[in-house]
């Protein structure tokens, strides 16, 4: 099985917030969990890929970069996006296909936008997905709190399937790189 850790929009300004947007829910725990999963990926030699949104901090400076407290591996790959979907116009799908990736572990921001679309897009493109349930976050919306949004998406995306491929939700402390998808088939 070929797999990858995909970390989406874990950028300084998105996590910390700015004058217009508030910080994401439980930001310190999110950073801790991302670092823990990066360590797990490194231990089992799973590549790490970051996707950064060019709209965050107008695509420049410290605010655009991966959060300063995240331990970015020296061999990490980066893709920049302009759309909510990490696969749209980025070359990410071509990269994953060229590497013959069949399992993607997903973390990052924001739950109801970029995380949701990445999970669903990966499943329709021939990959199983493990969404790290305590490894994605967002800020409060008008209708739901960030906590409610996260809980809803963890429930909705656990077992989400597109016939051959689907997503499951597991937490940071679990063996994320030893997927259990086959036990559900």
pTM tops 0.75, yes or no: yes
pLDDT at 157 > cutoff 80: yes
d(CA 82, CA 89): 8
d(CA 85, CA 124): 13
pLDDT at 163 > cutoff 90: no
In the chain, where does DSSP find H-type helix? Answer: 12-16, 27-43, 61-64, 92-98, 116-124, 146-157
> 127: closest CA among 83, 158, 184, 167?
167
Q: pLDDT, tens digit, for every residue of 30-68? A: 999 999 999 999 999 999 999 999 999 999 999 999 999
Q: pLDDT, tens digit, for every residue of 126-155? A: 999 999 999 999 999 999 999 999 999 999
Bridge pairing between strands 48-53 and 128-137: unpaired
> Residue 65: its pLDDT value, please?
98
* Dihedrals phi, psi of 3, to nearest 5 degrees: -135, 170
Choice between 146 and 163, residue whose per-residue pLDDT is larger: 146
> 78: closest CA among 7, 132, 138, 129?
7
> Residue 182: its pLDDT value, please?
83
| Residue tagged 């016939």 (tokens) | 163
pLDDT at 7 > cutoff 80: yes
């Amino acid at each position: 099985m070929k797999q990858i850790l995909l970390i989406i929009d874990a950028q300084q300004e998105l996590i910390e917030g700015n004058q217009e947007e508030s910080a994401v829910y439980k930001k310190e725990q999110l950073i801790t969990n991302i670092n823990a999963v990066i360590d797990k990926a490194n231990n089992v030699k799973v590549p790490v890929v970051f996707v950064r949104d060019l709209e965050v901090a107008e695509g420049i400076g410290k605010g655009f970069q991966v959060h300063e407290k995240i331990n970015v591996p020296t061999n990490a790959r980066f893709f920049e996006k302009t759309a909510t979907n990490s696969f749209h116009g980025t070359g990410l799908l071509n990269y994953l296909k060229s590497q013959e990736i069949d399992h993607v572990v997903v973390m990052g921001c924001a739950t109801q936008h970029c995380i949701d679309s990445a999970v669903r897009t990966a499943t329709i493109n021939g990959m199983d997905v493990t969404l790290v349930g305590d490894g994605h976050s967002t800020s409060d919306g008008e209708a739901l709190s960030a906590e409610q949004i996260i809980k809803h998406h963890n429930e909705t995306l656990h077992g989400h399937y597109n016939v051959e491929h689907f997503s499951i939700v597991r937490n940071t402390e679990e063996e994320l790189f030893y997927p259990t998808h086959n036990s559900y088939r």
